[in-house]
Amino acid sequence: MKVVLRIKPLTRILKWTERALFACAALFLGYCGFAVVDAWSFQRSESIDLDRLLADQHAVSHGVAAATGGGPIGRIEIPRLGLSVVVVEGIGKATLRRAAGHIPGTALPGQPGNVGISGHRDTFFRPLKDLKIKDEIQFSTLNGDFRYVVESLTVVDPNNVGVLAPTSENQLTLVTCYPFFYIGAAPKRFVVRAWQIPAQALARSIVK
């Protein structure tokens, strides 16, 4: 028995498959481009807005109220890594695509307790892979400027909410997915814990 393979229908199928794959690739690249441009534009506009508010002495005295009203909370900077990102309230998908997000239920900068901040490992928090113990983190907010020193770097399961538990001391906790170069939904969380440098210690370091 002879098997007759029709070349034309097969060729037609391959061509349509090729076109479909090209269309999917174009859509994917288009979305990636949109996400990058949208994040850059958001960061730029929010950064300008934040700088304007920081320069306004009236806003400084009402920092926490302004932050919870939907505006930028502040800006996190890690000088050694060249990291600088505006922080806004919430950790929804749209929020984290554009900025780092303050985790609801945790303390706000300037309040006693544990300040929780989340960010994507493949965008704003990618530099955290090179973070080291004793690195300094600066957090400029409408309620003042705060500095923290990194005390620990750990990897935990996603359901480990203990890292965001309230603390008696002023602490900053940064959370992102891990591993940093994992393709798909990362199975772990990378957690940075940093303690706030007391104002007295900052004053002594400035005098020296």
pLDDT digits 0-9 by tens, 85-131: 999 999 999 999 999 999 999 999 989 999 999 999 999 999 999 99
Domain extent, residue 96, equals 36-207
In a domain, 80, yes or no: yes
Quote the number of domains for the chain.
1
Higher pLDDT, 162 or 4: 162
Residue 177 lies in a domain: yes
Is residue 15 in a domain?
A: no
> What are the tens digits of pLDDT across the range 43-65?
677 777 777 777 764 444 544 44
DSSP H helices, the chain, are 7-55, 57-60, 63-68, 93-98, 199-207
Residue 8 falls inside a structural domain: no
> Quick one: pLDDT at residue 97?
92
35 contact partners, CB below 8 Å, separation of at least 6: 97
Q: Is 85 helix (H, G, I), strand (E, B) or coil?
A: strand
- The reply to whether 29 falls in a domain is no
Tell me, what's the pLDDT at 44? 75
In a domain, 150, yes or no: yes
Q: Is 11 among the domain residues?
A: no
pTM over 0.95: no
User: Does any domain span residue 85?
Assistant: yes
